[in-house]
A and B are shown apart, each in its own frame.
Chain A
């Protein structure tokens, strides 16, 4: 479904990603791990269109994403969350998710200006869709808080809710577990699995919590200094020497055993 093809990204003299290639199959949960500065968030930015590749192609369901702008990429079915929540801080929970849903509505300007019946129905649909999404992620239905007032963990969940509003086929999650305690992380893992199993979504997740990644992903890609050093199933990655040396640490030191 998603093909990263020989992608290189340079910021002036700094090479953030070099000759990276991998695939994400449909309905797969694929993780991207690596030390800080390895280029993981940069890759997500390239896929979602916030940055332009220097060399290479990003193909999604046959579409070349490297030529498209962020909002066009979103409409093709790619949603994302941000490492530091980029919420609409002064809006409430439902409003944030609604903004995500708007890209799937079709009322034109004239209908909106005249508050036509079609528009009113669309707005009602958006409202109920947003409430359903919020409930799915565990928010109370009558939660009237403003996005700014949420805890860090809740903000990350709201980010995911908003991205779900865009009805994505591929979901890019940038460190969704950061700021969550272990109970919340378990619930997050369950939610992500449900998104794939029940909603049919494909997920590319960047994470630092190794345990979470190992238990959740079908396949893992490991980056170090912008280059792929390993790709494979969680078992293969755990036993890969290069990965252990660069990132996981010796078996006795990491949290897996």
Chain B
């Protein structure tokens, strides 16, 4: 087997996280889970040009589905994870059916409405979801005697899932599907006269990106072992969009950069807060969540104004079109 640079890089990442203190390991688990959602979302909004203001709902559907399958139906994690992804994908298909008929602004409202519907259901249907109090007692996954109950072990699990899904997306996008997505984004009318069933593609990618969200949700459920409706609100959908935008929409790495940013940035700020050379007032501010939000706003503005292609490009990211060209040169 050829060991390529990328394999070495992956192993190094795992080693690095192994050396991290526990609270950083925990952050990396969350960052990995967010990255999985953003891969799917990024393809949808960056490459296909659609909008989803409700992706947190698919994340939540996957999470609750996996929780219910393992607790109420005693499914093992290894079955409930893909199944939850498929259930979320099913809802993605439903949303996609409406998306075909809606344009831009109306699509945003439609997907946001779906997210709100999901929020209400999780809050009200207490017998199913545990309501606002939350869903407790979700088991950790285990493979025979090995239980994934430590942060590092769970990181290995979610990182493995992430790498698999990332490679899958890369394969899809570097095939003719990637070209078709570009074509649809640049000119829908011409695409349909060239034999491309535009609606089928839109449906497919709504489903696929929802599937990714569902997988991520399942991973979250078995990590936190507890779910509450607040994590899957519209606020989180906006966070996902933020991750995709500052990371770079349309770039394969975009969402991942964004996910890392949103999870590590607060850590960076609270680390700064420990620096004694800063005046106490500033140190106090750096720890306030409200001020984090303000800084996010400023950053979002700066990126949109000065780096509209997102940080991924700045860090040397690979555009989908370049992936297509690269495959040709191989």
A contact set with B: CB distance below 8 Å: 48-50, 69-71, 73-75, 79-80, 82, 86-91, 95, 98-100, 102-105, 107, 109, 112-115, 119, 123, 126-127, 162-163, 165-166
Docked Cα-Cα span, A79 to B180, in Å, equals 17
CA distance A109 to B197 in the complex (A): 14
Candidates B168, B187, B196; contact of A71 at CB < 8 Å: B196
A100: B residues at CB distance < 8 A: 194-195
On B, residues with C-beta under 8 Å from A are 168, 171-172, 175-177, 179-180, 182-183, 186-187, 189-198, 204, 321, 324, 328
Bound-state Cα–Cα, A49 to B191, Å: 13
Given contacts A89-B186, A90-B321, contact A126 B176 (CB under 8 A): yes
Q: Which residues of A contact B187 (CB under 8 A)?
A: 86-89
Chain B residues, CB < 8 A from A50: 189, 192-193
Chain B proximity of A94: nearest CB distance (Å): 9
A interface: dominant SS: helix
Give A86 to B188 CA distance when docked, in angstroms. 9
Identify 19 new A-B residue pairs, CB closer than 8 A, beyond the known A88-B186, A89-B186, A112-B175: A50-B192, A50-B193, A69-B192, A70-B189, A71-B192, A71-B197, A73-B193, A74-B194, A80-B193, A91-B186, A91-B321, A95-B179, A98-B179, A102-B176, A102-B195, A112-B172, A113-B171, A163-B194, A165-B194
CB contact between B176 and one of A86, A123, A166 (< 8 Å): that residue: A123
Bound-complex Cα distance A107 to B187 (A) = 23
A107 to B176, CA, bound (A): 10
A71-B197, A162-B194 in contact; A90/B186 too (CB < 8 A)? yes
Q: Could you show 6 A-B contacts with beta carbons less than 8 Å apart?
A: A88-B182, A90-B182, A90-B186, A102-B176, A107-B176, A115-B175
Residues of B within 8 A of A114 (CB): 171
A71→B179 contact, CB < 8 A: no
With a cutoff of 8 Å between Cβ atoms, the chain A residues found around residue B190 in the complex are: 82, 86-88
| A95 CB contacts on chain B under 8 angstroms | 179, 324
A115 touching B194, Cβ below 8 Å: no
Measured CA separation A71–B195 after assembly (Å):
4
Residue of B nearest to A119 (CB): B175
Q: How far apart sit A109 and B324, CA to CA, in the bound complex (Å)?
A: 17
Residues of A within 8 A of B194 (CB): 71, 74, 99-100, 102-103, 162-163, 165-166
B177 cross-chain contacts in A, Cβ below 8 A: 109, 112
Chain B residues in 8 Å Cβ range of A69: 192, 197
Give B195's nearest chain A residue, CB to CB: A103
Tell me how far the C-beta of B2 lies from the nearest C-beta in chain A, rounded to whole angstroms: 16
Residues A71 and B176 in contact, CB atoms below 8 Å apart: no
Minimum C-beta distance from A76 to chain B (A): 10
Taking CB atoms, residues of chain A closer than 8 Å to B191 are 99
Contacts of B172 in A (CB 8 A): 112-113
Contacts of B189 in A (CB 8 A): 50, 70, 86
Residues in A whose Cβ lies below 8 Å from that of B186: 88-91
Docked-complex contact B182 and A74, CB < 8 angstroms:
no
> Complex formed: what's the CA distance from A99 to B190 in Å?
10
* Complex contact A105–B171 (CB within 8 A): no
Min CB–CB distance A44 → chain B (angstroms): 10
Are B192 and A113 in contact (CB-based, < 8 A)? no
Assess whether A115 is in contact with B171, with CB atoms less than 8 Å apart: yes
Expressed in whole angstroms, the minimum distance between the Cβ of A160 and any Cβ of chain B is 13
Q: Which of B182, B197, B328 contacts A91 (CB 8 A)?
A: B182
Contacting residues, chain B, for A91 (C-beta < 8 A): 179, 182-183, 186, 321
Interfacial chain A residues near B196, Cβ < 8 Å: 71, 99, 102-103
Q: How far is the CA of A174 from the CA of B289 in the complex (A)?
A: 60
Residues of A contacting B197 in the complex (Cβ-Cβ under 8 angstroms):
69, 71
A80 to B187, CA, bound (A): 15
Give bound CA distance, A100 to B179, whole Å: 11
The complex places the Cα of A103 from the Cα of B195 at a distance, in Å, of: 5
Smallest beta-carbon distance B315→chain A, Å: 22
The answer to whether A74 touches B193, judged by C-beta atoms less than 8 angstroms apart, is yes
Instruction: Name the distance in Å between B89's Cβ and chain A's nearest Cβ.
Output: 13
Q: Ordered nearest first, which 10 A-B pairs have the shortest CB separation?
A: A103-B195, A74-B195, A86-B190, A70-B192, A112-B175, A88-B186, A99-B183, A71-B197, A100-B194, A71-B192
With both chains docked as a complex, state the minimum distance between the C-beta of A223 and any C-beta of chain B, in angstroms: 22
Q: How far is the CA of A128 from the CA of B186 in the complex (A)?
A: 24
A48–B176 contact, CB under 8 A?
A: no
> What is the CB-to-nearest-CB distance from B184 to chain A, in angstroms, rounded to a whole number?
9
Residue of A nearest to B204 (CB): A109
Please determine whether A70 and B193 come into contact, CB atoms closer than 8 angstroms. yes
Chain B residues within 8 Å of A89, by CB:
186-187
Shortest Cβ distance from A102 into chain B, in angstroms? 5
B149 to chain A, nearest CB (A): 33
Shortest distance in angstroms between B8's beta carbon and chain A's nearest beta carbon?
A: 22
A249 to B: closest C-beta gap in Å? 34
Please, which residue of chain A has its CB at the minimum distance from the CB of B196? A71
The winner among B186, B204, B321 for most chain A CB atoms within 10 A is B186
